[in-house]
Amino acid sequence: MDVEADIKKYGFPQWFKSKEHEFDSCKFGMWLFLVQELMLFGGLFVAFAMYNYLYPETFREAHHHLDKNLGALNTVFLLISSLTMVLGVAYTMRNQMGKAMLNLFLTFLLAGAFMVVKYFEYSHKIHEGLLPGALYSFAANPSTPENPQSLFFSLYFMMTGLHGIHVVGGMVCLLWIMYRIKIGKTTAERFGAVEFVGLYWHLVDLIWIFLFPIFYLVV
Amino acid sequence: MSAHEVNYLEEYKGKSFFERLMGWIVTYDHKRIGMLYLVTTLMSFVIGGVFALLIRTELWTPMKDFFDANTYNQIFTLHGAIMVFWFIIPAIPGALGNFCLPLMIGAKDVAFPKLNLFSYYLLVIGMLINLYGVLSGGIDTGWTFYTPYSAQTSTSVIAMVSGVFIMGFASIFTGLNFMVTVHQLRAPGMTWMRMPLFVWAIYSTSLLQVVATPVLGITLALLVMERTLGIGFFDPALGGDPVLFQHFFWFYSHPAVYIMILPAFGIISETITTYARKTIFGYNAIAYSSIGLALVSFFVWGHHMFTSGESWWANALFSAMTMFTAIPTAIKIVNWTATLYKGSIVFTTGMLYTLGFLLTFAIGGLTGLFLGSISSDKHFHDTYFVVAHFHYVMVGGTATALFAGVYHWFPKYTGRMYNELLGQLSFWFFFIGFNVTFFTQFVLGANGMPRRYFSYIPEFQDLNQISTIGAWLIAVGVFISFSNLIISALKGAKAPANPWGSKTLEWTDTASPPITHNFVQDPIVNAGPYEYGRS
Ligand SMILES: [Cu+2]
């Protein structure tokens, strides 16, 4: 199976029936991948729900240490990035590659801004000693088995950390599709790569939309 | 013969050694990848089997015979972990699924051939990381990695667990690939209800692989974090709960039991119709019961924790749900048995292993109900009864079916016939050895011998020795099988395209071994997969 040669000659690999058939198959595969991602985070959400139920007072107290404003700012960044991502896909499909590249680059920048804000949040927590589990050392509010402050921060770091890894992964994918557009591998005819990175990016946003309220607001 | 019609094994014939080697290690051909999986997983089976023999031999007497208790703990852990993660989970989907599934639905390949090769290498990388773990301190937690012990022991838990994490992604991507393949790449006329039951079984397995495996991934990642950062999720001293680990672990690992057994069901549906020369009885029931089992399996994980302090109503609920899993399983067994009725049965090696499967799996399944009922589980929990039960399911079930499948499709894989006499001899050693080994363990368990212990009370010695002899009989059977397969692959008689008179596409529409592009003419399907009696 020489994939590259097939694409050059026919426009799609030959084990598919048509270009559309290939696109649909890849899209279905991408959705399954997203299901997998949801299950990956699902375990952590269950752990959060369980410990929040066991230690409601503790969690209410601990969440005051998170900066709502920074969290909200990050939410805004990701929401706008969703929009620019959609525009990036739409312009790619209409063969307006200049605008597509601009929007994809904006998405990349917003993702970067999200990570910068996260960096400040994390370093502030680390500085104060609000660290997960055994590393927790915030003297004003010690963690005990009955009042496990540290558990809240374990969940916070594990969940936002895993999400952060996904954001960085998204940034790498964005660079990759911009490169593909540049060298002409992704075109208005074959725009699958952009579409699928878009799907992934929306999932990353969606997970943040759940993370933000449970950690910063509700509890 | 045009270049396209060369069979897949001879694609690089006459090329340099380097090119032929690369033709194997960077191939996108699902048949070659299937062969890679077959060799890799059967090798894993041998390694895991050697550990099993070491365990059984050490248990010859209650005293120390060859190695001490710490080594014993490491060896039973490695036996379990290798058999589960290196062998049973990847074996049937990876080897037979890859090889047969695209052929059976009339496709040229899987939907994502590159991803397919990538999955294989994830498996290999996971294995290498595990090997590093073995060399740098081993592991003594048992294959279940239960906290709090796994968070404290000084052995290489991180390397073992990271390896399993990576192999998990191999499993996820394989499942994803097969699901898309089944949805998208069926030949014209291959409706869902005309798919061979093996395809249904692999499809259901894939569903579980995609949905359940990530939960294992995150659980193991948390265990690594527990060890490195002390996050405390599973540590009561920090407000965590060690039983949460068990919940997460079994949320994956119970469905994983079906990742291990559903593909075996698929093989049996193929072999039993072929060798009984009869249409399968209750096609729809078998197809839907695969999906049914996959779904029910998500709601029964709590039956592993009856003694871990679950609330009584959780126990009752999980116990009741567990009883439900017996229904789709029984539907299958009844339908297979009904298929045999008035069939003209041919006792090939593949059929012997198939019949062996029916017997041992039925015992394995039924003894599972004793463990699923709370009151009897309180007695049997963590005894050899449990060990015997899951070996009846995993070895008597999955491994036996795998052998049935390997013998069945061997001519298709290699283009050569195996030696029938040696094949049948291997079966009798394997089958008798298996029952001698594990039936005694039911008795031992019912009498209260706990699992995983290095020593036992002297009264148990006779039964333990019988069990050990059985293990060596299995080893003889496997040795005969492997010698047979290896020698036949090199020197066996040439196989015709359809030596068994099967009705599925991989036999009827392509040569043995198949050409690189699978079919000379794209198949068009206008009948079901088991139309025996009509020609
Ligand atoms: Cu179970």
Does the model's pTM come out above 0.95?
Answer: no
pLDDT at site B128:
96
Q: Specify the pLDDT at position B3.
A: 47
> What are the residues whose beta carbons fall under 8 Å from the beta carbon of B93, sequence distance 6 or more?
B171, B174, B175, B178, B202, B205, B206, B209, B259, B263
The minimal CB distance from B231 to the residues A1, A133, A145 is found for A133
Range of the domain at B268: 3-508
Contact A146 B239 (CB under 8 A): yes
Q: Confirm whether B503 is domain-assigned.
A: yes
A42 vs B: CB within 8 A? yes
CA distance B279 to B534: 10
Q: What is the DSSP letter of B3?
A: G
Alpha-carbon distance A127 to A125, whole Å? 5
- For B426-483, the pLDDT digits (tens) are 999 999 999 999 999 999 999 999 998 999 999 999 999 999 999 999 999 999 999 9
Q: Looking at the predicted structure, is the pLDDT value of residue B4 above 60?
A: no
CATH number at A44 reads 1.20.120.80
In a domain, A130, yes or no: yes
Cβ <8 Å between A43 and B215: yes
**Using CB atoms within 10 A of its CB, is residue B89 exposed (0-12), middle (13-18) or buried (19+)?**
buried
- CB-closest option in A29, A135, A148 to B112: A29
Which one of B108, B114, B219 has the shortest CB-CB distance to A43? B219
CA distance B51 to B54: 5
Say how many C-beta atoms besides its own lie within 10 A of residue A82's C-beta: 19
Report if residue A118 sits inside a domain.
Answer: yes
Instruction: Report the distance separating Cα B497 and Cα A95, nearest Å.
Output: 50
Q: Measure in Å the smallest separation between the Cα of A99 and chain B Cα atoms.
A: 31
Chain Cα centroid distance, residue A120:
18
CA distance B457 to chain A (A): 40
For residue B71, give every residue at least 6 positions away whose Cβ sits within 8 Å of its Cβ, in sequence order, or none.
none
Q: In this prediction, what percent of chain B has a pLDDT beyond 90?
A: 75
Residue contact A158–B231, C-beta within 8 A: yes
Burial A11-25 (b: 16+ CB within 10 A, else e): ebbbbbeebeebbbb
pLDDT-derived band at A76, boundaries 50, 70, 90: very high
Residue B24 CB burial class (10 angstroms; 0-12, 13-18, ≥19): middle
Q: What CA dihedral angle connects A137, A141, A147 and A153, to 10 degrees?
A: -50
Is the pLDDT at A207 greater than 50, yes or no?
A: yes
Contact B239 A150 (CB under 8 A): yes
Give the model confidence (pLDDT) of B172-209 as tens digits.
999 999 999 999 999 999 999 999 999 999 999 999 99
Q: Is A28 within 8 Å of B230 when comparing Cβ atoms?
A: no
What are the C-alpha distances in Å from B430 to residues B16, B114, B487? 41, 37, 19
> What band does A211 get if pLDDT is binned at 50, 70 and 90?
very high
Residue B493 covered by a domain: yes
- Number of domain units in chain B: 1
The answer to whether residue B190 is domain-embedded is: yes
Pairwise CA distance, residues B146 & B148, whole Å: 6
Six-digit token pair at B120? 């294989």
Q: Is A19 domain-assigned?
A: no
Where residue B397 sits, what CATH number does that domain have?
Answer: 1.20.210.10
Q: Is residue A141 part of a domain?
A: yes
Which residue segment(s) compose the domain that A43 sits in? Answer: 34-217
Written as six digits, the tokens of B28 are 């996108």
Q: Tell me, yes or no, if A209 comes closer than 8 A to chain B by beta carbon.
A: no
Q: Is B96 inside a domain boundary? A: yes
A105 domain-assigned: yes
Would residue A148 count as lying in a domain?
A: yes
Give the chain B residue nearest A154 (alpha carbons): B231
Alpha helices for B88-156 (secondary structure H): 89-90, 98-104, 113-135, 149-152
Total of domains in chain A: 1
